[in-house]
Structure 1
Amino acid sequence: MSRAGAGDLRSALLALAPDRPLGAVGARELVRASLVAVDCTWAARELELLGGAVTGRVFRDASGGATFPLRRAPWGEPLARPRAVCAVGAFDGAHRGHAALLGRARYEADARGAELAVVTFSPDPADVLAPGRPGDALLPPAVRQHAVMELSGADALVVLDFTPELAALPYERFVRGALDALVDLECPRRRARRARAGARLARRRGLHMGRARARAARRRRDRPRLPRRVGAREGFDVIGMELADEGGAPISATRVRSLVRAGRVEDAAGLLGRCHYVSGRVEHGRGEGTGFGFPTANVAVDESLCLPAEGVYAGFVAVGAMAWPAAINVGKPRSFSPGERDAAFLEATLLGFEGSLYGEEVSVVFARWLREPRSFASLEELERTVLGNVGWVRATLGERGVSLLGEGDS
């Protein structure tokens, strides 16, 4: 997921028009940069700490046969822990702000001669602490994990099950009983005193978190045991980073969600560093576009995911190694009466596709907002509008599928 030129992505999307088309190469690169690749070389092992109060999984690249040991093996034999810098966060969306934090953590790990371990949570802590919210995940949990691994270049990813029991843990107990069981965050003062001054940075470990997460820790009941104080006492650095800024406001998952829900997918893409997309299974739907001579895909999307506002968008539908330009309708069908409402749907009209997608898992990429939803006075008006949307997509994004395999891919 390339972040090159992410700051210019919003402008590039807004500039798309029939007289400034994307082209096949541009389409391929846009879709490839938007989708999160799933790396099958990462292997997982289960973990259980603090008497079962903390559970989860540790992911590490298994292509080289490496392992990420716990502090103590099940049979009680002590194991060496990796010397590591940790970055902690939910990382929903893996947006440009996360890229900045993880990039700083990677730099610190390299400077200290340590590994980088990214610690995240599943489900998102907000879903546990504030249940009943509308679907707002920018990425499904499993996809988010792969995005974080790709974005950070981490040596290991620790995914902790976020439960009420974990939420109730005092901060110091979480660090000492959970993080410290996985990686070497300690630096005994006796060893530090004997160390040469120039080696002090390398011997100290680091714990990175966004300012918002650090403030949340300070609001907890264990107020006197602030993250920095715990780190100072135990011999590791706690580095609270300010969120990356865009347009005078911090880049955050909350801000991205707000833009997506408002239909401002171009603005959201500028913060994400990629186009927003959702995945789902193609089901039998209304087939409205079929009557106009175009194949349509009715996509059932998990209700936990963040969908754009009702309306019509230009984008792509990706299946395997191919992607097709599409006019994407999100919302509830109004037919010819503003009072009629059926179940919510996501229906994409594909250009250049032949065959059947029923039962297939597809990814729908939102590149541009085209128009608000509306009711129509006649079938002729509906047909005219739909064909106009499809014509814009054809002239701007292309009229046939593009391969997502570039040079050197297979």
Structure 2
Amino acid sequence: MAETGTARLQELAEGAFGGRRRLPGPLALDGDGWQADAWPLDGRWRPGDRCDVVLGAFDGVHGGHRALLAAARARASALGVPLVAMTFDPDPSAVVGRPQESLLPCEDRRRWLAAAPVDGIVSFRFTPELADLDHRSFLVGPVAGVAAPVEVHVGEGFRLGRGGAGTVERLQEDGAALGYRVVAEPLAVVGGAPVSATRVRSLLDEGDVLQASALLGRPPVVRGTVVHGRGEGAGLGFPTANIEVTPGSACPRSGVYAGIVRVGRDAWPAAVNAGKPPTFTDEEERGFLEAMLLGFSGDLYGRDVEVALLEPLRASRPFTSVEGLQRAVEGNIEQVRSLLGDRPVRLREDGAASPAVC
């Protein structure tokens, strides 16, 4: 049973953490009112070269994004040109409109994009000045300043430029005037609805991490820092890592989940409580996780960690006795042990995983 659990942990850890690619240092680019960082990958593209472009914010790099990337890759291959992903940092919602909770920090978006079939990545620094450019000026300025597009690929419903005025139809008119095609790729559909970052955030808010995983193509992951807690877990005999989630991250609703906690290169099976335990407080606090790492002993205070959320174990609820809470926690730990085993796996530099030596 332990070997089966460890094999499952290895597979899930690879999916959650191992598909990203380490990036080299970027090339700094700038023009009239814009700045960007560029990552040429594998020597097939350099800034200024002819290429196909795929453009988007890519929050989550979810199944819909991967379908868009695959369609753009097929066209670029047919045309015999490299494919370049163009994105933004910070997310545009942080500068215009209402900030959206992030499924992935921008750094991780680029690392997942680098693992996709692209030959280069360009990340424009999304400033108020960039946001104020109209759609035509964005294509003529920043896009033309870093590449010579043969085609530009976007998802249906994509908008660009000041006030979102650059609809697909207007971008296609712009592209025709500039000598290239703007291609609107159909949105991927799962369960009768398009796959989108908004939909994934809504599922996390409902605590449906299984369906969120189905749309992402991997378990949702939350980053945070281990901080000192109130000590209730240790007092009950269950030492926990109290994790303060990175501000602005999308988090699941309160509840207990089976998960994986990545500490450095080691991925540990864990029972994860989202929110403050209602037995000890009436406060509803998002952005806070408590994780019990099976088999772990040591000091994690101050460490940055990542938490993959696999499936819900139970809803959060107050217990009338400490004994009742202890029994529930013991049951959750046994569920995780049955699912994932009780020892970690180690993530190698190439993204694969193997059993860790403890």
> Normalising by structure 2, what TM-score?
0.90
Which residue among 22, 34, 39 is the counterpart of 1:59?
39
Unaligned runs of 5+ in 1: 1-18, 70-80, 186-204
1:165 maps to 129
Letter in 2 for 1:27: L
2:220 paired with 1:284: no
- 1:114-157 deviation per Cα after TM superposition (whole angstroms, max 9, x unaligned): 111111011111222224x4x61001111111111212x22211
Cα shift at 1:393: 1.2
What secondary structure does 2:13 align onto?
helix
Distance, in Å, in 2 between the alignment partners of 1:289 and 1:146 is 35
**In the aligned structure 1, how far is the partner of 2:204 from the partner of 2:188?**
19
Which amino acid counterpart does residue 35 of structure 2 have in structure 1? T
SS of equivalent to 2:148: coil
Separation in 2, partners of 1:336, 1:177: 56
Post-superposition CA distance 1:256-296 (Å, at most 9, x none): 01001110000000000000011222122133332343331
State how many pairs are aligned: 353
**Letter of the 2:325 counterpart:** L
- Cα deviation for residue 329 of structure 1 reads 0.6
| 1:336 and 1:376 in contact (8 A); partners too | no
The secondary structure found in structure 1 opposite 2:49 is: coil
Shift of 1:380: 1.1
Distance 1:22 1:136, change over 3 A: farther
Matched, 1:207 2:129: no
**Stretch of structure 1 that moved more, 89-98 or 327-336:** 327-336
Whether 1:321 aligns to 2:285 is: no
| CA-CA distance at 1:341 after TM superposition | 6.0
Give secondary structure in 2 for the equivalent of 1:118.
strand
User: Which structure's CA Rg is the greater one?
Assistant: 1
> Residue 13 of structure 2 contacts residue 353 of structure 2 at CA under 8 Å; is this kept in 1?
no
- Which residue in the other structure is 1:381 paired with? 324
Question: Is 2:221–2:309's contact at 8 Å kept on the other side of the alignment?
Answer: yes
Q: Which amino acid aligns with 2:11?
A: E
1:159 to 1:21, Cα distance in 2 relative to 1, 3 A: same
Residue in 2 that maps onto 1:34: 16
Which of the numbers 255, 262, 268 marks the counterpart of 2:206? 262
CA contact (8 A) 1:294 1:351 kept: no
Q: Distance in 2 between matches of 1:323 and 1:223?
A: 43
How much does 1:306 deviate? 0.5
Rounded Cα–Cα distance in structure 1 between residues aligned with 2:166 and 2:323: 66
Match of 1:68 among 46, 56, 59: 46
Corresponding residue to 2:76 among 104, 109, 112: 109
Q: Which moved further from structure 2: 269-278 or 117-126?
A: 117-126
Q: Distance in 2 between matches of 1:224 and 1:261?
A: 30
- Alignment partner, residue 113 of structure 2: 148
1:137 to 87, 97, 102: 102
Contact 1:36 1:143 in 2 (8 A): no
Q: CA deviation at 1:342?
A: 7.1
Equivalent in the alignment of 2:29: 47
So what's the TM-score if we normalise by structure 1?
0.79
Distance in 2 of aligned mates of 1:167 and 1:393:
46
SS of the equivalent of 2:248 reads: coil
Q: For 1:156 and 1:229, how far apart are their aligned partners in 2?
A: 26
Distance 1:287 1:156, change over 3 A: same
Q: For residues 116 and 222 of structure 1, do their structure 2 counterparts lie closer, same or farther at Cα, with a shift above 3 Å needed? A: closer
**Counterpart AA for 2:102:** A
How well do the aligned residues superpose, as a CA RMSD in angstroms? 2.8
Q: Is residue 333 of structure 1 aligned with residue 277 of structure 2?
A: yes
Report the counterpart of residue 99 of structure 1 in structure 2.
Answer: 66
C-alpha contact 1:21 1:395 (8 A) present in aligned 2: no
SS in 2 for 1:363: strand
The share of aligned pairs that are identical, in percent, is 40
